[in-house]
A and B are shown apart, each in its own frame.
Chain A
Amino acid sequence: MLDETTVQIVTELDIVAARQLGRNEAKAIGFNKVDQARIATAISELAKNIFLYASVGKIIIKRITKNGNSEKGIAIIAIDKGPGIKDVGKVLDYSPAANNGAGLHAVKRLVDLIEIQSEIGMGTIVRIEKWLR
């Protein structure tokens, strides 16, 4: 398997494809079923945001290592050239009362790291990492 795969997000079906790919990769790395479900859920939220707010974009799924290959993990990078997020801090910090408990705020809880770079009118890059324990 390649170290890095990309899924273009154009239609809602592509969200499913990204989930599938992420799950397969997570499984190959050695994540258990519960973590596989978490990783797929996180990918799903990122891909859905691309689909909803930027129309098109891509999801990159990567194997990562640290401490001289002794620790393995997965990184997911969501990239789009959409409208950008106005207040990144706020989006991560709180979920609106009416929210169904998902969204970026929830993704933060499913993974070990989340980084958002976003510029109004330019696009958004979200990077998440989860490490195998």
Chain B
Amino acid sequence: MNILKQLKAQYKKILLDYILNQNESNLYIGQNLIKQLIQKNVTPEDVIGIHKQAIEEIYEDLPESISHAYDFLIELMVHFGLKVKEHQFLLLKQEEMRIEMDIAAKIQNLLLETTIPTPELLDIGMVSIPKRKMNGDYVHFLHDDENYLGVAVTDVVGKGVPAALCMSMVKYGLDTLGYANSNPSYVLEVLNKIIEKSVDDSMFVSLFYGRYNLNNDIFTWASAGHEPALYYRAKENIFYDLESKGLLLGILPEFKYIQHDVKLEKDDFLVLMTDGVTDFRKLEEFDSRGYIKQLAVSYSRLSAQQMCEEIYKDLERLQDFNLDDDFTIVIIKK
């Protein structure tokens, strides 16, 4: 209260100075005072009230009509004052939500942490970078013995919290399936049913599931609307697209997914990715898959992990370090 009185006196003095001498420094001092007033939660109508009082004290013979005009302005400014309060309130809310989001993101990262398995005969690498705090991509490996390796690469259509929650369901679906030797078509059919039942209609999940037989090097895959993986056959120096037509998960509960096989040989490798890797919104005409193939071949002497990292760096640079989407790439080398 006393501080406010002091500020009012200051206001009057600065106003008087300005009335006598319209120089810039008085205006500057006035603005500094207003900043202090704002900090004390003084509203626009308060400021006009302070101004009116100062004017009435400076001009003792002020016509009453002018005082009325100030009252009119005070009345109207009450609503601006409410807007200011609303704004401050929303800023506080926003900060609260930011803190909650940070915590949620941390929990999500813990829940959806991917450990890359290290089977003796394969070299596996992975990079997964979220665009925002919460990752809409997820990679899940299953490796229970030295016979099979299962890998799922998922992308939830949609971003942020809803996508993250949906992803947790996919993870628990995969955890429940449990065995690395499950058929990819079976895995997709089970997940499809879970998601169809429990997730909002507006939420879609694309998933590429592969199973690597470590005994005979046969890779079996099925896809639910996911970006086709790349298969590099070293002997021919050619890439094949591992396509498979299947609906996104969560659309049709009884959908039958088809699986396919390919046999890997020495120096062959697989590139699994999400569409965040291949979609360059800023470079529409660009043959991104062709470019990724070139990159992959040029880095093919590196370890799988290094390949992923180098490809990420290249694509990030190409898009001015501002990717449009979550970015996930997995490379499996024989």
Bound complex: CA of A29 vs CA of B45, how far in Å?
20
Q: Is A28 an interface residue (CB 8 A)?
A: no
The closest CB in chain B to the CB of A23 belongs to: B75
Interface Cβ pair total, 8 Å cutoff = 37
A100–B83 Cα distance when bound, in Å, is 8
Q: Given contacts A32-B49, A133-B1, is CB(A101)–CB(B86) below 8 Å?
A: yes
Any B CB within 8 A of the CB of A33? yes
Query: Distance (Å) between the CB of B68 and the closest chain A CB?
Result: 10
Contact A33–B86 (Cβ < 8 Å): no
- Digit string of A96-133 for contact with B (CB within 8 Å is 1, else 0)? 00001110001001100000000000000000000001
Question: A-side binding surface: helix, strand, loop or mixed?
Answer: helix
Q: Which residues of A contact B1 (CB under 8 A)?
A: 133
Q: Does A59 contact B (CB under 8 A)?
A: no
- Report if A47 contacts B (CB, 8 A): no
As a 0/1 sequence over residues 11 to 41 of chain A, the CB contacts with chain B under 8 angstroms (1 = contact) are 0000000000000000000001110011011
User: Which chain B residues in 51-95 approach chain A with CB under 8 Å?
Assistant: 52, 71, 74-75, 78-79, 82-83, 85-86
A95 near B: Cβ within 8 Å?
A: yes
Residues of the B chain whose Cβ atoms lie less than 8 Å from the Cβ of A37: 45, 71, 74-75, 78
Closest to B71 in A: A33
Contact indicator per residue, chain B 99-142, by CB within 8 Å of chain A (1) or not (0): 00000000000000000000000000000000000000000000
Distance in Å: Cβ of B37 to nearest Cβ of chain A: 13
- Cβ–Cβ contact B78 & A38, under 8 A: yes
Is A101's CB under 8 angstroms from B79's CB? yes
Minimum CB distance partner of A44 in chain B: B78
Chain B residues closer than 8 Å to A109, beta-carbon distance? 82, 85
Q: Is B46 an interface residue (CB 8 A)?
A: yes
Chain B nearest Cβ from A46, distance in angstroms: 15
Interface string of B290-306 (1 = CB under 8 A from A): 00000000000000000
User: Which of B74, B79, B85, B86 is in CB contact (< 8 Å) with A34?
Assistant: B74
Chain B 27-51 interface mask (CB, 8 Å, partner A; 1/0): 0000000000000000001101100
The 7 A-B residue pairs with the shortest CB-CB distance, nearest first, are: A34-B49, A106-B82, A37-B75, A101-B83, A41-B78, A101-B82, A109-B85
Q: List 22 A-B contacts (CB under 8 A).
A: A32-B49, A33-B49, A33-B52, A33-B74, A34-B45, A34-B48, A34-B74, A37-B45, A37-B71, A37-B74, A37-B78, A38-B78, A40-B75, A41-B78, A41-B79, A100-B79, A101-B79, A102-B79, A102-B82, A106-B85, A109-B82, A133-B1
